Structure 1
Amino acid sequence: MTEHDRVGRAARAGAEGRLRAGLPRLLSVCLTAAAAYSAAIAVLPPLRRWLATATEVIESAVFPVEPNLGYAVFLAILAGALARHKRAAYWVITAIFGLLVVGNLAVVLSSTLMPDLVDEFAMTPQVVASEFNLVLSAVAFGVLAAARDEFSAPTRRASFRTALLTLVTLLAVSFGIGWALVGLFPGTLRPADHLPWALERALGGVVDLDPYRAGHPPGWVNFLIGLISAVAVLVAFAVLFRSQRARAELPAAAEERVRALLAAYGAHDSLGYFATRRDRAVVFSPSGKAAVSYRVVAGVCLAAGDPVGDVEAWGHAIRAFLEEARRYGWIPAAIGSGEAAAHAYARAGLRVLELGDEAVIDVAEFTLDGREMRGVRQAVNRVRRAGYTLRIRRHAEVPDEDMRHVVERATAWRGAADERGFSMALGRLGDPADGACVLVEARDAGGRLDALLSFVPWGEDGLSLDLMRRDRDSDNGLVEFMVAGLVGEAGRLGVRRISLNFAMFRSVFEQGARLGAGPVLRLWRCTLVFLSRWWQLESLYRANAKYRPRWVPRFVAFDDARALPRVGLASAIAEGFLGVPGPPAPFRRPAVAAPLPPAPAGR
Structure 2
Amino acid sequence: MPTPEPAPADIHARVRELVALSVDDPLAPFALRPEKLHVFSPDGRAAVSYRLRCGLAVAGGDPVGDVASWPAAIDTFMTEVASTRRGAAVLGAGELARDLWEGHGLSAVAIGRDVVVRPDDFELVGRHFRNLRQAIKRTHNSGVTVESWLERDVPATVRMELRNVVIAAKRDEERGFAMTLGRPFDGGQPESLVLVARDHEGRLVASHRYLVAGHKDLSLDVPIRLPGAPNGVDERLIAEAVAWAGKHDFDRVSLAFAPFPELFAERRHLGLAKGAAYRLVHLLDPLIKVERLYRYLRKFHAFDQQRHVMLRWRQLPRVATALLLLEFGR
Match of residue 438 from structure 1: 193
Matches within 5 A, 1:192-341: 246-263=3-20, 265-341=21-97
Q: Which position in structure 1 is the counterpart of 2:218?
A: 463
- The one-letter code of the counterpart of 2:307 is R
In the alignment, what sits opposite 1:499? 254
1:250 Cα offset (Å): 1.7
Whether the aligned pair in 2 keeps the contact of 1:358 and 1:503 (CA below 8 Å) is yes
- Whole-Å separation in 2 of the counterparts to 1:496 and 1:458: 11
Q: 1:564 aligns with which of 294, 316, 321?
A: 316
Which of residues 548, 551, 568 is equivalent to 2:301?
548
Higher strand residue share: 2
In 2: Cα distance, 1:532 partner to 1:552 partner: 24
Query: TM-score under structure 2 normalisation?
Result: 0.94
CA contact (8 A) 2:114 2:307 kept: yes
Cα distance, 1:404–1:250 mapped onto 2, change above 3 Å? farther
Listed one character per residue, the Cα deviations across residues 348-379 of structure 1 (whole Å, up to 9, x for unaligned) are 33222212111111212222221221111111
Kindly provide the CA deviation profile for residues 39-65 of structure 1, in whole angstroms up to 9, marking residues without a partner as x. Answer: xxxxxxxxxxxxxxxxxxxxxxxxxxx
Stretch moving more, 365-374 or 527-536: 527-536
Q: Distance in 2 between matches of 1:530 and 1:346?
A: 28
Name the SS of the counterpart of 2:221 in structure 1: strand
In the other structure, the counterpart of 2:202 is 447
Q: State the alpha-carbon separation in 1 of the partners of residues 34 and 99 from structure 2.
A: 27
CA distance in 1, matches of 2:251, 2:219: 12
**CA deviation after TM superposition for structure 1 residue 468, in Å:** 0.7
Q: Which amino acid in 1 is paired with 2:321?
A: L
Q: Which amino acid counterpart does residue 261 of structure 1 have in structure 2?
A: L
Q: Deviations over 1:264-318 (max 9, x none)?
A: x222411111111110110111111111111101211011011011111111111
State how far apart, in whole Å, the 1-side matches of 2:297 and 2:65 are.
Answer: 28
Given that residues 120 and 246 in structure 2 are in contact (C-alpha distance below 8 angstroms), is that contact kept between their aligned partners in structure 1? no
Shift of the alpha carbon at 1:418?
6.7
Matches within 5 A, 1:311-460: 311-414=67-170, 419-460=174-215
Contact 1:266 1:273 in 2 (8 A): no
Measure, in 1, the Cα distance between the counterparts of 2:56 and 2:90. Answer: 10
| 1:537 corresponds to 2:290 | yes
What is the CA-CA distance between 1:421 and the residue it aligns to? 1.2
AA in 2 matched with 1:254: I
Q: How far is the alpha carbon of 1:512 from its aligned partner?
A: 3.1
Distance 1:535 1:448, change over 3 A: closer
**Alpha-carbon deviations, 1:448-495, whole Å to 9, x = none?**
111001111122121111011111021111111111222222222322
Q: Displacement, 1:403?
A: 2.1
Q: Distance in 2 between matches of 1:527 and 1:512?
A: 13
Number of residue equivalences = 330
Q: Are 1:315 and 1:348, in contact at CA under 8 Å, matched by a contact in 2?
A: no
1:492-551 deviation digits (Å, cap 9, x = unpaired): 23222111121222221123335xx43332343244345435531111111111111133
Decide whether the 8 Å contact of 2:209 with 2:223 is kept in 1: yes
Q: Deviations over 1:152-196 (max 9, x none)?
A: xxxxxxxxxxxxxxxxxxxxxxxxxxxxxxxxxxxxxxxxxxxxx
Q: Aligned partners of 2:284, 2:32: CA distance in 1, in Å?
A: 32
Following superposition of structure 1 onto structure 2, how do residues 99-138 of structure 1 map, counting pairs within 5 Å?
Answer: none
2:117–2:254 contact (8 Å) kept in structure 1 = yes
Partner of 1:110: none
Superposed, 1:80-91 pairs within 5 Å as none
What TM-score do you get using the length of structure 1 for normalisation?
A: 0.52
- The residue number in structure 1 matching 2:240 is 485
Identical amino acids, percent of aligned pairs: 34
Moved over 6 A (4+): none
The one-letter code matched in structure 2 to 1:253 is D
Which digits, 9 at most, give the CA deviation of each residue in 1:538-576, with x for residues without a partner? 111111111111332101112x21112211110110111
1:574 aligns with 2:326: yes
Name the CA shift for 1:531/1:573 in 2 (closer, same or farther; >3 Å): closer
How many Å separate the matches in 2 of 1:297 and 1:248? 13
Unaligned stretches of 5+ in structure 1? Answer: 1-243, 583-603
Partners of 1:304 and 1:334 within 8 A in 2: yes
Query: Cα distance 1:300–1:530, how it changes in 2: closer, same or farther (>3 A)?
Result: closer
Structure 2, unpaired ranges of 5+: none
**What's the offset of the Cα at 1:245?**
7.9
Greater Rg by CA: 1
Distance in 2 between the 1:360 and 1:268 partners? 10
8 Å contact from structure 1 (residues 362, 550) kept in 2: no
Residues 280 and 499 (structure 1 numbering): CA distance in 2 closer, same or farther, change over 3 Å? same
**Alpha carbons 1:376, 1:480 under 8 Å: kept:** yes
Q: Helix, strand or coil: the match of 2:308? A: strand
1:454–1:354 Cα change, 3 Å: same
Match of 2:267 in 1: 512
| Between structures 1 and 2, the one with greater helix share | 1
Change in 2 beyond 3 A, CA 1:480/1:268: closer
Q: State the shift of 1:424 in Å.
A: 0.4
